[in-house]
Structures are given as structure tokens and as C-alpha cells.
Structure 1
Amino acid sequence: MLRLTDIQLPLDHADDAIGAAICAKLGIGATSLRGYTVFRRGYDARKRGAIKLIYTLDVDVMDEVALLARHTEDRHVQPTPDTGYRFVAQAPDALEHRPIVIGTGPCGLFAGLLLAQMGYRPIILDRGKAVRERTVDTWGLWRKRDLNPESNVQFGEGGAGTFSDGKLYSQISDPLHHGRKVLVEFVKAGAPDEILYVSKPHIGTFRLVTMVENMRATIESLGGEIRFTSRVDDVLVENDANGERHVRGVTLASGEQLRADHVVLAIGHSARDTFEMLHERGVYMEAKPFSIGFRVEHPQSIIDRARFGPQAGHPLLGAADYKLVHHGKNGRSVYSFCMCPGGTVVAATSEPGRVVTNGMSQYSRNERNANAAVVVGVEPSDFAPYDNSGSPLAGIALQRHWESRAFELGGGTYEAPAQLVGDFLANRPSHEFGSVQPSYKPGVRLGDLASALPDYAIHAIREALPAFDRQIKGFAMHDAIFTGVETRTSSPLRIKRNERFQSLNTRGLYPAGEGAGYAGGILSAAVDGIRVAEAVALQINAST
């Protein structure tokens, strides 16, 4: 087959326009075209009112070799590449110790799935509950202000991505087609087929719940074992005759010890007590940059009109998103993060006495408001006022400080502090809502967010808002709502690993995903889980 790229057609093209475009591109008659499939469909919205669809097509034609020879100088006509996934290994007949995966977020799920598919029968541990029980606990905070520190937006089956927009796109390099493997497995688990070809696929929370359950069932059918409410409180490490450190298993909160020579750490970016335990055990890690800020809400209709103009509301376009960045005069970068079209702002804390925000959308993206984080980058050099020990955990101290401050400003009831964007820009407290009603549950308390973040962050965000308004008209509208605070944009540390995906100083320990500082989002975390599972399989086979 041939792959044709950059086939451009009007948004409302006729059903037969794709076939006609293929024939025109290749210079063939309709009888020479046997068929085609859409590999990717995106859009170009730079000209509002004249939005184009951009197709990548896999085409079955007669005389393929001759056509390729005729188009050797055209980079948009190439042989269709093989995007199928191939397993790197199969488990040996005798496996002394089963590998352990800690965490059932996207990274842990895919590490466990791949190990199970290769026959290694992994043991997968999660401190939280199965996804439906976890959903009940999560709603307990949102509706009743009742936080379960072990089962919430951050902890439990599916990880933090379960309560999100379910975005499945990333900027990672993927020459081995691991990302395609992720999408194919998601479709098998119940995701809509369109995630295989739309340019910015998403799933939404409700669908993710069922998909996660189906993936669990697949892993168990292949001999894997998944244990919930099984927090890992210690890793067992011993030194060999050469003084090299090796992992030998884990100790659960129950006191049970599990023996293993290969342990995947897919613990997510909020497992702070686990980070502390690993640091105490001497596992090498470093502080790393992350970002902090607020969630902003606008009417989705304003974003749609600003991005799509008169074609706003077209079913192929859906709810519009955006991606914004501003480099401030004080040297800080301000940018939009985790934009959720037609979604809601959610309570995402995992620790008592703290307030954390995140964004979530359903597959339909049909809620009234758009929301996104507006965040400012922080560096390890910013951590000293909160922890001047030089510890790699110092970023956690910064996060906790501002999460506690948000809890205080919200009244100490898990309500979040909020302010109208117009009042934030004018440096005055807010006292009543305008046209935008906040979606955050259990509720917000209006006031002044000037003391909710460091001064450098407040100044940078105030400078960025007019710049963002020039890109999206209405972004700095007076009635838009800021809700604070967003602190869990990424892990505040990196558990460094070598080229074999193992900890720099603890053999057999495989830091992976967002918590270890190697991913940012569902797709990249899942891909990292696949890569780490491959490394585990190759290492097991090399040692048997």
C-alpha cells in the first residue's frame, strides 16, 4: 500500500472527495483505486471560516511499484510503513521470581499488560482501590468533603489520568510505534475506533473507567495478578560481593514481603511518602523543575468562536482547545497546561488539609465551561525557602506550602479559593460571580489570589493574561474565573535511570512514568511503561 500525506480538503467536503483527491494526487483513474483507509485526520484552523481537513491515507492501488517510481521526488507519496508492534521477548519456562509493578496508572497498566502478554505473569500492586470503588471515594470528596488519602483522584486503579480529559496525544519520539500499540490496546479495551486516526484523540473519564477494568481482566487472564489496597512501604535492597545494590523485593503496609529481582516503579507524581521512603533507602534521585498556577474557566463558546470563527460548532471540530505561552519580563515562562474543552475543574488533593485543582472532561466535552491550568515554571533554585536542606524532595515542600495556603484561603473546608480574572488583573478581591459560574466541587470561596502563589508567579501571570487575550479574544474577560491552586503538573523530582531503564544505583529497580520524571500525560506514560516492560523482559531472559 501507499501512504499519502497532507491531503487537504474543505471541512464540509463531499463523501467522494477523498477518492477524487487520491486519484488527482497520483494521476490515476478511478478504476485504479482499489480502496483506502484514513490513518490520520487533523485540521488546519489558521484561517477562520476556511478551516481545512488534513488527511494521511493508506491507499490500495493497481501498479503500486510503477506509481512509486513516478513519485520518487514527492515526500507525500511513500510506501505504507509497518506500524505493528512486535514483542521483544517471551518468558522462559522457569521463572524463579515474578516481576513486580507498583502502580496501576497508565504506565503501570501498560508495563503489567506487556509483561503479561509476554508470559511473565507480573504482580501489580496499588495502594488505592479498584476503579469503581475509587470513583465512589473520589465523589466523596467532591460531594461531601470527605477525603480518603489512599483512594482519590491521585491514587487507585487507572491513576490520575482516569479523572482527566483522557488526552491521547504526545510530542514524544516514537520510532518503534509504541504509541500505536497503546492506542490499539485502548480500542480493544473499549475506546472508540476514532482514537486511531483523529489528530488529537481523547476518551473522557466515564469511558476510561470501563477500559481500565477491561485491561485488568486481560492481564489477569494472562496470569498476571493485581492487588489493590496494597501500599508498598519499603523496598528490599542488598549489596552483592562487589558492593553493587540490588533490589530483592518489597514490603507491603500489611507487613507481607514479596520477593522479586525486578521491580517497576510506576508510582505517579503524588506518591510523596513513597518518594521519601526511596530516598531513605538511598535510591538516587534529583530535584527537577515543574510548574504551579491556577485553573481558569471561560465559556466554551468564547473559545470556539476565537479558534474556529463562523465554523464553531461543526461536529468534526468539536469543542475547541488552545495552547498558549508567554515569556515574562521577570524571566518566568507562563503557559496553558492540560486544557479541558467542555469540562470541569476538580478537587485533586491526596493529603488532608490541602487543596489541589485539576481538569476533567467527558468524551462528549459538552459542559458549559472550558478550563485549563495557567502555570508558571519553578526551578530547584526556588525550593530553598520551603526546604533549604538541598534534598531532592525539596520541591514537595514547595507544593505542600501552597496547597496548604489554598486550603486556608478556601476556608478550611476543601473549598478552593477563587477570583474573577478582571479583579485579579486589577489587584482587588472578588465578591460576586459574573457570567461564568465555577465548576469546582465541593465549591469555591471568592477572594484575593494574590497571596495564593509566590509573588514572581502572580506578577508573571498578570503580565501573561493580556498577551493571551491577543491570541484568544476574551481570554482576559472580567468574568472568567481563576481557581487555585494547580501544583501537580508533573513530578517535583526525577528518579534517574541508566540506558537499561534501571535505577542508577539500584539494579533491578525500574523508575518509570510521571512519578519518576519520565512522562507527562496518559500516552507518554503508557509508552514509558511499554519500554520499561521490554527492558525487564530482556534483563530477565539475559540472566536465565
Structure 2
Amino acid sequence: MLRITELKLPLNHPEEALAAAIRERLRITPRDLVRYTIARRAHDARDKDDIQLVYSVDVTVRNEGQVLNRTKRDRNVATTPDTGYRFVTKMPADYAGPRPIVVGAGPCGLFAGLILAQMGFRPIILERGKVVRQRTQDTWGLWRRSELNPESNVQFGEGGAGTFSDGKLWSQIKDPRHLGRKVLTEFVKAGAPEEILTEAHPHIGTFRLVTMVESMRATVEELGGEYRFSHRVDDIELEERPDGTRRLTGLKLSTGETLAADGPVVLALGHSARDTFHMLHDRGVFLEPKPFSIGVRIEHPQSWIDQARFGACAGHPDLGAAAYTLSHHCANQRTVYSFCMCPGGTVVAATSEPGRVATNGMSQYSRNERNANSGIVVGIDPARDYPGHPLAGIAFQRQLEERAYAAGGGDYRAPAQLIGDFLAGRPSTALRSVLPSYRPGVTLTDLSECLPEFAITAMREALVAFGRTIPGYDHPDAVMTGVETRTSSPVRITRGEDFQSINTANLFPAGEGAGYAGGILSAAVDGIKVAEAVARAMIAKG
């Protein structure tokens, strides 16, 4: 089978045009084209007057060798890559060793548990929060009634933080083994639409993710895995060896139980497991500070973004709601960029701690809400902004979130400001044409009360620059809601080439909270890699 890439056709091309384009590219007759399937579809909207669809297709032809030889100078024609997943090992039939433990049931923990279960190792999965549907009810409690459950919210519970997001399923990670394809394939098995296998920027949305997470849990349990919800890891037990090394031997749980860690422990924490980071640091597990970003959520009517990106083609069903990616390097040596852009979505309360406000964005699969929203964030780094301690980034986040809580009124409303007022340096007092979507509501104020001066200065410069890239982006009526602080983990639980903690054997840090991923797909892929490392270690130990 052959893979053709960069096959471009007009936006409104007839169905038969794709087959004709394949034949033309390969210089074959209709008789020689046996069949084809779409491997990937994207769009090129750089010229709004000539938007094109861009295909990658897998093609079966007669006399494949001759065709491949004839097109050998065409870099966009090659043999179709093998994207199938192969397990690195399987549990032997006579295996009598311990069961692996996975801490966390977000995307990373979910796929670590799934892969281990598919290999036959019957993992135990611990999750501090609740099952996904109960967790959804608790999350709505904050959004609708300003009632926060610190153990069941946007950050904590089955499915992880990605459940309440846009559900983006793409990443810029290097993926030579096509592990991302394994992730997407498992999602389709669990109920995701098959188009996520072909769209260049697939997404799912919150409601579909809920049912998929439930389906995948059922698969893990059918394969002998075990879930334990409302089981938070409060402490760890360690064995100090005569040679100076140390090994994780047990987990002390919030239930009062101590779970023996006879087998490997995958630590798939989310980026908001601040109490667990503190516990690990107190127990001497090596952590180091890591860069992250801070800022706000910005909202424009989705129709404005569609028009700016697609022109007369705005609203075309093959294009959907327009997205964007923006970045600007500022005079004060800060970089401001868009983060986690959610077309046709909403801004949501994403805190997990009382007395603090943090924001995030989410979308449903339809992406048909009235506003587009995105994080507009400023990159920060430990040496410059929070030096001196591995956990200083957490303290920095908390300080900003406490400011936002106070500025919002002390009841989980978020502070907000119109762009026009933000650029002019004055508090906002009234909304105009753009209505904010944040739940449980906003308080108009001056966002300079909530963020460092360097961030405010950089964002003011960047917004004007973004307005030159996307006309109307710096429209005075657009709304900014603060604060966005949980863009990624502020720490890294450093691991070695064997995926174990560099100073604590039997502990396998994984995913976004450990500092090795950012987003659903990359976290899931890291979960697969760590599960493979765990399986190899268990087989080697016998």
C-alpha cells in the first residue's frame, strides 16, 4: 500500500475529484486504482480566498512496485507506514509475581493501566477523586452553586483534568512508534467518532469523554484490573538499603490502609496534586522546579474568529469552528502565546483548593457555543521568577490564585476586564458586546491586581501585535478572565532512562504532573511508555 501526502483540493471539490487527483499524482489509469482510504485530512486557510483541503491517503494499486519506482522522486509518495501497536511483552501464564499499582486515573494513568491490563498484569488503579459521573456532578456544584469539593472537581477524579477541556487529541511530541495512533484507536473502541483517526486536529469534547472513560474502565476491569476510587496517597514507605539506595515499598492511603508496593508503582499525578508533591519532597524523592506559564482566558465571539480566519468561507461544514495559534516575543524578554485554544467553548472554574480561583477552557464535540476562548499566557522560569526551592512554583501559583479569589469577590467568581480597559490601564465597570461564559460568574475589575507587572506589560504589548495578525483580536469589547495558572506542572519528578525516579527505585513518575507531558495525547503516550517499562521490569524480576 502507498501513502500519498500533501494532496490538495479546493474546499468544495466533488467526491470523485480525490480519486482523480490520486490517479494524476501516481500517473495511473482508473483500472490501476484498486481502492483508497483517507489517512488524514486538514485544511490550508492561509489564503482566505482559496482555502484548500489537504489529504494524506493510503492507496492500493496494481503493480505497486512499478508505481513506486516511477514516483521515487516524489517525496510525497512512499510506502504506507506500519502504525500498528505491538506489545513489548506479555505476562507469562505461570507468572506469580506482584501486581503493579497505578496512582491516578487521568489520561496517563488510564493508558498505563489499560496497557498493563492488556499485557495481563492486572493493575490496581488508585484515584483520589470519584468516578467520572459523580465527579461531573461535583464539578457542576462549583460552576452552578459556588460549592467546591477539594477531592472531586475539574482537576481530581476519573479522567483527569482533560475530561473538562476541549478534548484535543493532537500533540507535537516525537512519536516514531506511532503510540498516538494506539491512543486514538483505543478511544474509537471506547466510543469516540472514527473521524479522530483522520482529522489533522481531532478533538472529542467533555460529554463524549465521560462515556469513553467509563468504557475504558470497564475494559480494564474485564481484563483483571481493579479501580479504587476516593483513595488518595497521603504518604509513602521507603526501604533504605545499606548501599545508600532506597526503594518504595508501600503507599499510605487516605482510607487508613497501607498498600504494599511489592510491584512497581506508576505515579501518574495531575499537575494540581500539590499536596502530593509536598509529601514526596518531604520524603526525599528528587523533584526539580520546571517552567510553566501564567495569564488569563480571553474570549471573542466565535463568529469574529471564523470571519478573520476563513473570510467568506466562514461557517463551511468542512472547516468547523476556527482555531488559532499566536505567539509574540516582547520587549521585556517575555514570550506571550495562546494556550489551549477552545473554539466554540466556555471558560470554566478549574480550582481544586478553597479560597483560590483558577480558570481553564473547555468545549463540547460540537464546538457550537457563542464564544471562542484561549489562554493568553506568559512564559516564566524558575531561575528568574521563583528561585530557591523545588516547590516555589506552587507557592507562586497559589499567590496568584488567592489574588484572583479576592478580586473576584471571595465566592469563586473570577476577576474580568475588557481588553479596551486593560490596554488603557483602567478597571472595567460594564460589559459591552462580548458576554463572558465563565461559571459561576465574573466580577469586573482591574486584572493588574492579580498578575505580576511583567506579565501585564507583556500581555498589553502582545495583544496589540495579535490584533495585527487576527484583525479584531484586540477589540475593546473582548473579555479577559483571570487567572490561568495551571498550564503545566510547576515541578518535574526526575526519572532515569529506565523510567524510574532517579533516587527512589520502584517509583515510576509519569505524565503531566510528573513533568513529562502536556495535554491528553502526550500524557496518554507517556502512560504507554511507562507501562512498557514497568512490564519489562516485572518480567526481568520474574
TM-score > 0.5, shorter chain as reference: yes
Measure, in 1, the Cα distance between the counterparts of 2:445 and 2:234: 40
Measure, in 1, the Cα distance between the counterparts of 2:317 and 2:528: 34
Query: How far apart are residue 471 of structure 1 and its match?
Result: 0.5
Structure 2: which amino acid aligns with 1:20?
A: A
| Equivalent runs, 1:13-92 vs 2, <5 Å | 13-92=13-92
What is the match of residue 126 of structure 1?
Answer: 127
What is the match of residue 470 of structure 2?
Answer: 472
| Equivalent runs, 1:107-506 vs 2, <5 Å | 107-260=108-261, 261-384=263-386, 390-506=388-504
What is the match of residue 541 of structure 1?
Answer: 539
C-alpha distance after superposition, 1:94-126 (max 9, x if no partner): 232110000000000000000000000000000
Query: How far apart are residue 313 of structure 1 and its match?
Result: 0.6
Measure, in 2, the Cα distance between the counterparts of 1:181 and 1:320: 27
Measure, in 2, the Cα distance between the counterparts of 1:177 and 1:239: 39
Query: How far apart are residue 74 of structure 1 and its match?
Result: 1.4
Structure 2 unmatched runs, 5+: none
C-alpha distance after superposition, 1:327-364 (max 9, x if no partner): 01001000000000000000000000000000000000
Whether the aligned pair in 2 keeps the contact of 1:287 and 1:392 (CA below 8 Å) is yes
What is the match of residue 529 of structure 1?
Answer: 527
SS of match in other structure, 1:336? strand
Whether the aligned pair in 2 keeps the contact of 1:383 and 1:394 (CA below 8 Å) is no
Measure, in 2, the Cα distance between the counterparts of 1:215 and 1:95: 26
475-484 or 67-76, which deviates more = 67-76
Structure 1 unmatched runs, 5+: none
Query: How far apart are residue 508 of structure 1 and its match?
Result: 1.1
Structure 2: which amino acid aligns with 1:485?
A: V
SS of match in other structure, 1:146? coil
Whether the aligned pair in 2 keeps the contact of 1:88 and 1:534 (CA below 8 Å) is yes
With structure 1 as the length reference, what TM-score do the two structures score? 0.98
With structure 2 as the length reference, what TM-score do the two structures score? 0.99
SS of match in other structure, 1:475? coil
Structure 1: which amino acid aligns with 2:332?
A: N
Structure 1: which amino acid aligns with 2:420?
A: G
Measure, in 1, the Cα distance between the counterparts of 2:95 and 2:14: 59
Measure, in 2, the Cα distance between the counterparts of 1:364 and 1:201: 12
Query: How far apart are residue 382 of structure 1 and its match?
Result: 4.2
SS of match in other structure, 1:342? strand
Measure, in 2, the Cα distance between the counterparts of 1:237 and 1:314: 59
Measure, in 1, the Cα distance between the counterparts of 2:240 and 2:70: 63
SS of match in other structure, 2:231? coil
Q: Does 1:10 align with 2:2?
A: no
Structure 2: which amino acid aligns with 1:121?
A: R
Whether the aligned pair in 2 keeps the contact of 1:289 and 1:379 (CA below 8 Å) is yes
C-alpha distance after superposition, 1:491-530 (max 9, x if no partner): 0011110011110001111111110000000000000000
SS of match in other structure, 1:463? helix
Whether the aligned pair in 2 keeps the contact of 1:2 and 1:78 (CA below 8 Å) is yes
SS of match in other structure, 1:335? strand
SS of match in other structure, 1:334? strand
186-195 or 234-243, which deviates more = 234-243
Whether the aligned pair in 2 keeps the contact of 1:383 and 1:397 (CA below 8 Å) is no
SS of match in other structure, 2:416? strand
RMSD (CA atoms): 0.8
Structure 2: which amino acid aligns with 1:182?
A: V
Query: How far apart are residue 236 of structure 1 and its match?
Result: 1.8
Measure, in 2, the Cα distance between the counterparts of 1:391 and 1:370: 37
Equivalences, count: 540
What is the match of residue 98 of structure 2?
Answer: 97
SS of match in other structure, 1:343? strand
115-124 or 255-264, which deviates more = 255-264
Query: How far apart are residue 76 of structure 1 and its match?
Result: 1.1
Measure, in 2, the Cα distance between the counterparts of 1:382 and 1:303: 35
Measure, in 2, the Cα distance between the counterparts of 1:358 and 1:237: 37
Query: How far apart are residue 401 of structure 1 and its match?
Result: 0.2
Measure, in 2, the Cα distance between the counterparts of 1:281 and 1:184: 39
Measure, in 2, the Cα distance between the counterparts of 1:412 and 1:74: 62
Whether the aligned pair in 2 keeps the contact of 1:348 and 1:356 (CA below 8 Å) is yes
Structure 2: which amino acid aligns with 1:493?
A: V
C-alpha distance after superposition, 1:199-252 (max 9, x if no partner): 000000000000000000000000000110000111221123422111112111
Measure, in 1, the Cα distance between the counterparts of 2:291 and 2:31: 57
Measure, in 2, the Cα distance between the counterparts of 1:36 and 1:248: 53
Whether the aligned pair in 2 keeps the contact of 1:97 and 1:259 (CA below 8 Å) is no
Q: Which runs of 4+ in 1 moved over 6 A?
A: none
Whether the aligned pair in 2 keeps the contact of 1:423 and 1:429 (CA below 8 Å) is yes
Query: How far apart are residue 127 of structure 1 and its match?
Result: 0.4
444-453 or 129-138, which deviates more = 444-453
Measure, in 2, the Cα distance between the counterparts of 1:254 and 1:166: 32
SS of match in other structure, 2:344? coil
Query: How far apart are residue 49 of structure 1 and its match?
Result: 2.1
Whether the aligned pair in 2 keeps the contact of 1:249 and 1:263 (CA below 8 Å) is no
| Identity across matched positions, percent | 66
Structure 1: which amino acid aligns with 2:432?
A: G
Measure, in 2, the Cα distance between the counterparts of 1:325 and 1:83: 33
Structure 1: which amino acid aligns with 2:233?
A: V
Structure 1: which amino acid aligns with 2:301?
A: P
Query: How far apart are residue 273 of structure 1 and its match?
Result: 0.3
